């Protein structure tokens, strides 16, 4: 049995304050997009994990998919499985690929073995694995706040637009992205700003990681500029980078950006 674990983009990301526990409070909007990994469960004599496609550094048993399965197996005596992950979502891109894999793995186990877990229970299993993991359980446009792990569903629909994602050949460390950010309370909540007309987003919606990341990787800033030059109505780096998405009113082709970057169309 298999499932398709999709990526997400951040429609804005405000870093609002540094917390006493070392984390940051933030405001963001998670939006699912049509780039997918494939997660499969195969009956096996012992539990293992096989990763194909894009290389993921580290041992497979350290993957959060494997950890999520172990947690469910401990609580429900789930039979041993081989977890097969076909990795298509770029790594280190601000797209939540690993978090999505873990969440969809939990949903797949719940379905295959008829565990009867609710959305809330499944969210409970993945929350310890990453702040954005729980978003992928319901997988709907969501306003996220606190550490990025408290949610409110939003009625945001970009299906009438043409979304493009550009991933440059650089990996942005989350630690680096956080190291030089400026933290401030916004004058308006992103939860409200996201309902402005699309043509007003550029003036009001931003990603607080961009200044520090662009200083280290100016090619990401250049990608964003080129997307606007190509006619994008809105463009922004997703998460802590390195990918940049753009919203167009109609289909486009970007051969110049394809020369040095991965370009995903109609996501």
Do 193 and 258 fall into the same domain?
yes
Higher pLDDT, 159 or 25: 159
Do 126 and 11 fall into the same domain?
yes
Do 11 and 35 fall into the same domain?
yes
End of a domain among 114, 133, 153?
153
End of a domain among 88, 118, 153?
153
Q: Is 92 annotated as a binding residue?
A: yes
How wide is the angle at C-alpha 251 spanned by C-alphas 250 and 256, nearest 5°? 125
Please state, as a whole number, how many other Cβ atoms lie within 10 Å of the Cβ of residue 174. Answer: 13
**Structure-token match 């999520």, residue found:** 68
Q: What is the CATH number of the domain that holds 69?
A: 3.30.230.10
Do 141 and 172 fall into the same domain?
no
What residues contact 174, with CB distance under 8 A and at least 6 apart?
Answer: 240
Do 89 and 178 fall into the same domain?
no
Round to whole Å and give the CA distance between 145 and 171.
Answer: 25
8, 87, 224, 226: the catalytic one is 8
Work out the average pLDDT over 154-179.
90
End of a domain among 104, 129, 153?
153
Q: What is the CATH number of the domain that holds 196?
A: 3.30.70.890
Structural domain of 40: 2-153
Do 119 and 179 fall into the same domain?
no
Q: Is 159 annotated as a binding residue?
A: no
Q: Is 98 annotated as a binding residue?
A: yes
The yes-or-no verdict on residue 119 having pLDDT over 90 is yes
Percentage of residues in the chain having pLDDT higher than 70: 100
Do 139 and 166 fall into the same domain?
no
Do 142 and 229 fall into the same domain?
no
87, 107, 132, 224: the catalytic one is 132
Three-class DSSP category at 67: helix
Do 200 and 121 fall into the same domain?
no
pTM score: 0.95
Work out the average pLDDT over 208-237.
96
Tally the domains of the chain: 2
Do 135 and 60 fall into the same domain?
yes
Per residue in 55-68, pLDDT (tens digit) is 888 888 889 999 99
DSSP 175-237: HHHHHT------SS-HHHHTTS-GGGHHHH--BTTHHHHHHH-HHHHHHHHHHHHTT-SEEEE
Q: Is 200 a catalytic residue?
A: no
Q: How many CA atoms lie within 13 A of 163 on its CB side?
A: 20
Round to whole Å and give the CA distance between 174 and 189.
Answer: 24
The yes-or-no verdict on residue 177 having pLDDT over 80 is no
Find the helix or strand (DSSP H, E) in which 61 lies: none
Q: Is 148 annotated as a binding residue?
A: no
Do 26 and 104 fall into the same domain?
yes
Q: What average pLDDT does the chain have?
A: 94
Round to whole Å and give the CA distance between 120 and 230.
Answer: 42
Q: Check if the beta carbon of residue 183 is closer than 8 Å to that of residue 209.
A: no
Do 7 and 118 fall into the same domain?
yes
Torsion-angle region of 8 (φ positive above 0: left; ψ -120 to 50: alpha; else: beta) = beta
Q: Is 34 a catalytic residue?
A: no
Per residue in 78-114, pLDDT (tens digit) is 999 999 999 999 998 999 999 999 999 999 999 999 9
């Amino acid at each position: 049995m298999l499932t398709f674990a999709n990526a997400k983009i951040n429609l804005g990301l405000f870093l609002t304050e540094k917390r006493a526990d070392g984390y940051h409070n933030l405001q963001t909007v998670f939006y699912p997009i049509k780039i997918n990994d494939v997660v499969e469960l195969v009956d096996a004599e012992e539990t293992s994990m096989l990763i194909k496609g894009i290389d993921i550094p580290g041992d497979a048993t350290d993957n959060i998919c494997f950890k999520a399965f172990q947690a469910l197996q401990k609580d429900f005596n789930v039979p041993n499985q081989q977890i097969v992950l076909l990795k298509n979502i770029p790594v280190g891109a601000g797209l939540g690929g690993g978090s999505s894999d873990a969440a969809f793995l939990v949903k797949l186990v719940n379905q295959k073995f008829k565990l009867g877990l609710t959305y809330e229970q499944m969210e409970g299993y993945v929350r310890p694995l990453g702040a954005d993991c729980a978003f992928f359980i319901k997988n709907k446009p969501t306003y996220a706040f606190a550490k990025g792990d408290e949610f409110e569903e939003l009625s945001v629909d970009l299906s009438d637009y043409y979304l493009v994602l550009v991933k440059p050949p650089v990996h942005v460390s989350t630690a680096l992205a956080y190291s030089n950010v400026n933290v401030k309370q916004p004058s308006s909540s992103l939860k409200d700003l996201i309902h402005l007309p699309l043509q007003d987003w550029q003036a009001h919606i931003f990603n607080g990681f961009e200044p520090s990341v662009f200083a280290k990787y100016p090619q990401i800033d250049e990608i964003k500029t080129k997307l606007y030059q190509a006619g994008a109505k809105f463009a922004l780096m997703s998460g802590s980078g390195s990918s940049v998405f753009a919203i167009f009113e109609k289909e486009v082709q970007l051969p110049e950006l394809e020369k040095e970057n991965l370009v995903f169309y109609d996501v």
